[in-house]
Amino acid sequence: MSFNRIYTIEGIGPDTLQVLDITDNAITSIAPLRALKGLSELYTADNPLTTLKPMRYLRTLQYADISNTTAKGISWIRKTPFEGLTVDAEQFKTSTVYRLMARGVMIALADS
């Protein structure tokens, strides 16, 4: 679904979906993804997202690329069971990212 000028992501399924790549679209909300209980990888880079908070409900999420989104505030991420996370330079400077690194989460810095 990446690189398709998608604006909304309503009715995505099945709930057993494990990997979703919505990179480089025009998506502003990922709230409908809360229903994807089996999602383990999510790629949201380069979208004008207003918030990433719906990701906190994805209990099986192990990797996410949140780089180059317009969403602010990622402090809630430290409570998620990530194994890997890709962020941009602005997100990388946050204390949340430092806490994740201290916990052993693999952090990648996206190219701008």
Residues 42, 50: Cα–Cα separation, whole Å: 16
Q: Is the predicted pLDDT of residue 94 greater than 70, yes or no?
A: yes
Residue ranges covered by each domain of the chain? 19-109
Condensed to tens digits (0 to 9), the pLDDT of residues 33-87 reads 988 989 999 999 999 998 888 888 888 999 999 999 888 777 777 777 788 889 8
Please state the φ and ψ torsions of residue 85, each to the nearest 5 degrees: -150, 135
Which of 3.90.180.10, 3.30.9.10, 3.80.10.10, 3.20.20.70 would CATH assign to domain 19-109?
3.80.10.10
Beta bridge partners of 63: 41, 84
Q: Is the predicted pLDDT of residue 14 greater than 90, yes or no?
A: no
Stated pTM of the model: 0.83
Q: What percent of the chain has pLDDT over 70?
A: 96
